Structure 1
Amino acid sequence: MSEGIAARGSLRGDQDGPPAYAALTLVGILFINMVGFGIVIPLLPFYGLAFSAEPWQVALIFSAFSVGSLFGEPLWGRLSDLYGRRILLISTVSGNCLCYLALAFADTAWLAFAIRLLGGFASGNGSVVQAYIADVTPPEKRARRMSWLGAAFAIGLIVGPAIGGSFVDESRGVPGFRIPLLLASAASACSLVALLLFVKEPRTRIVVARPKLKIGSALAQVVKHPVIGRLMLLTLLVSFAFTGVEVMFGLWAHARFGWGAREIGQCFAIAGAISAFTQIFVTGRLSERYGEAHVLAGGMAMTVVGCFLQPFSNGLMMTTALISLTAAGQSIAFPNVVTLISRTCDPSRQGQVLGFNNATGAFGRTTGPFTASLGFGHISPNLPYFAAAGLVAPAILLALRAVRHERRHNISKAPPE
């Protein structure tokens, strides 16, 4: 018994964390994933039209990536628990590289859908990256490093659409979309080389028996956990709500102010820059000073205020300020969710549990836009914002209750003096 406990505790042994270049390489891997995702955002409607695809087929191609990651996240996370983080990162980044290359030469809408599905499955390695950083980072520094990943996420969603829009040539039909997709493949290849050169397996590993993977029973156990279950529900609510209003923002701004792509792009660029700045310079410091509970609840409160007030906006400045407030709230909150989960769960299952949480977020990002579009089109353009505020508000209570249980969990497992 004591040997098993010691083996589990040894995963926390590298308290100085990975070398700086290894941590930055891991952040770069997630950045490349989000650049690849973002590249397709401005291309996809026109890419589908180049295949003479129907609107519902275009929607399928777009959602295929998130559906793939929904299944990839928990699987890659669990396999990394069993066989190591590095080998899983090498495998998934290689698959991602090949999928971008294949997508550049797809010649039918259904082939593009299949490739996007596989690409999303391969790109579902965020849980492996998170687990690696959690493995080698002491709890008090974990929120700061997780916020670096969030910054990579935000900046990737700024850079990706810019690349996609700048290098496409619609006049050439399907071949005109190849250059940005080839660039995404090349970037993934560079990320793979950096991974091979600079990222090593954590020095301390847990030696555990390798049981059969029972995803269903493992998920049920995680959902019932008093801390992790609440945090996963929080992730679902916030991802569902925030992605819905994010996708509908362009249509809402056009309906309310008559804006075009230029004004909408400016709003997103400013919000993305503020989000990245917040995660790099603010989130970690706030968490270390005030604790994850207060910072998580504060980020959720900022999101509620931003969403609720958006329908009352009277112009460009107020709209940009509110969408930036919402983005900053997300940037402050989510790194602390990952930190709390990694600190609470069994280290031998860290990758799988983080994978479940990421899959929950992917499910919210897949279903949120569709639901928001129904409310926008059939009831009111403002409904997605009010609904988002109503969904995120209970997440504040979920966060506070989860942290209360997490403190009890830590007290109960503390050794007697």
Structure 2
Amino acid sequence: MISSSKTPPAAGGAALAVMFSVVFINLVGFGLVVPLLPFFAQSLKAEAWQITLMFSAYSLGQFFAEPFWGRLSDRIGRKPVLLVTLVANALGYLMLAFAPNIWLAIAVRLFTGLGAGNISTVQGYVADVTPPEKRAGRMGLIGAAFGLGFIVGPGLGGLLTQPQLGHIGYQLPIFVAAALAALAAVGVVVFLRESRAKADPAAPRPAFLSGLKFARDNEVVSRVLVVTLIYMAGFSAMESVFGLWAEDRYAWGAREVGLSFMIVGIVSTLNQGFFAGKLARRFGESRVLAVGMLLFGASLVLQVISPVSWFPATSLELGALSIPIVQGWVIPIVMAFGACGMSLAMPNISAMISRASPPDRQGAMLGLNMASSSVARIFGPMIAGALFSGLGHDWPFLIGALLTIPAAVMAINAGRVIRRQKAAAEAVV
């Protein structure tokens, strides 16, 4: 069995700062590449279904990788796993830049997904160096690093991309992403102290499916994994069809869609960085998670019922001043409302899983949670596409909103189990 390191790095403070920086640098690279992938694929003469396959391949790799890296980090420590995955990221980006055709690019994206499954390891490190009552807040700070990376990355990618140069014009951002991943790996080597001791080599290794059995039998983890599956499926479904939906309803283009998602990133970052932890300490992780699910569901309904036009004209005349009106301007406000709910999900889910798991299984359970998220990101867009084309453009949003109700109920029930177990433990003492 693995024991905790004797001295948590600087009581978690300095270690958290290093981890925040590493996550931010790595996610800037990720956010830098993802928005230009469709255009990069088009430069390889890819068809639309092959472009979407690049995204699915990455999520498929993460699905298998997250539990593996999480379990491995429980055994050998967090630092070596973070180092290996960051190096794999850098190599994956380089291979992508030189991929001669779309099929090799898809294979590279699968490899990069396998190497990028380190989110559970990051969360495990934070759990190692953080007292249980502070985990939701610190998980929120790591979530804020993710959000900042997604805000900075796409903007930087847009500045670096040179489409007039053809295929080579899309390689420069990918080279920068590789350099950022390498820089994050250097940061791990130089600044990060290990938070766990290595396992006894003679200790029996748990079977691969043992983590699934533990998660199924754990009343808290099993419920929380389903919450992750539901809310991430709803978000990925909305994300995948939002551009088509907005184009159909408001005649929006890429600029308006991109600005809307940028607002989502800003609100999520601020909420996770400043409010998620405080709300969890005051009201409890499960209650805050349940409210977050319902807020997200309500935002999906509000998007559907929002009027097509609030004004009969495209500009507001105030004397000599003419103010242009963007039709559908209320949608980014509604999405910001939903982002408040979504940003309450990840830190509280991670905190509840780490609280309900023994130290030597935290990485594995957090890895299963990210695998559940990957499953949602694989199938959510596929189902949304079928609903969008078969039943109507609003149905992906409505079905996603409906599913947040059982997700909220499961979150509340998981909280009741945690409180019951805590009361039982205190009674024994």
TM-score range, shorter chain: over 0.9
Counterpart residue type for residue 127 of structure 1: S
Query: Where do residues 1-400 of structure 1 align in structure 2 (5 Å cutoff)?
Result: 14=8, 17-20=11-14, 22-202=15-195, 210-314=203-307, 315-400=327-412
Q: CA separation in 1, counterparts of 2:237 and 2:31?
A: 16
Residue 216 of structure 1, CA deviation: 2.0
Counterpart residue type for residue 380 of structure 1: G
Q: CA separation in 2, counterparts of 1:254 and 1:328?
A: 24
Q: Secondary structure at the match of 2:393?
A: coil
Contiguous gaps of at least 5 residues in structure 2? 308-326
1:346 to 1:151, Cα distance in 2 relative to 1, 3 A: same
Contiguous gaps of at least 5 residues in structure 1? none
Q: CA separation in 1, counterparts of 2:33 and 2:300?
A: 26
The answer to whether 1:406 aligns with 2:418 is: yes
**Which 10-residue stretch deviates more, 198-207 or 49-58?**
198-207
Residue 213 of structure 1, CA deviation: 4.2
Per-residue deviation, residues 303-357 of structure 1 (Å, max 9, x unmatched): 1111111111235342111111111101112211100100111111111110000
Q: CA separation in 2, counterparts of 1:39 and 1:185?
A: 10
Contact kept in structure 2, 1:82 and 1:210, CA below 8 Å: no
Q: CA separation in 2, counterparts of 1:204 and 1:40?
A: 35
Counterpart residue type for residue 287 of structure 2: H
Identical-residue share of aligned pairs (%): 40
Q: CA separation in 1, counterparts of 2:36 and 2:229?
A: 27
1:58 to 1:317, Cα distance in 2 relative to 1, 3 A: closer
**Which 10-residue stretch deviates more, 158-167 or 379-388?**
158-167
Q: CA separation in 1, counterparts of 2:5 and 2:415?
A: 23
Q: CA separation in 2, counterparts of 1:224 and 1:384?
A: 32
Q: CA separation in 2, counterparts of 1:300 and 1:363?
A: 19
Per-residue deviation, residues 360-402 of structure 1 (Å, max 9, x unmatched): 0011011111111111122111111111101111111000001
Counterpart residue type for residue 246 of structure 2: A
Larger Rg: 2
Q: CA separation in 2, counterparts of 1:343 and 1:78?
A: 17
Q: CA separation in 2, counterparts of 1:407 and 1:11?
A: 28
Aligned residues: 410
Per-residue deviation, residues 19-75 of structure 1 (Å, max 9, x unmatched): 42x312212333344333322332222212211122222121122111111111000
TM-score normalised to structure 2 length: 0.90
Structure number having the greater helix percentage? 1
Residue 120 of structure 1, CA deviation: 1.0
TM-score normalised to structure 1 length: 0.93
Contact kept in structure 1, 2:128 and 2:196, CA below 8 Å: no
Residue 207 of structure 1, CA deviation: 5.8
Contact kept in structure 2, 1:12 and 1:137, CA below 8 Å: no
Q: CA separation in 2, counterparts of 1:106 and 1:299?
A: 41
Q: CA separation in 1, counterparts of 2:107 and 2:24?
A: 23
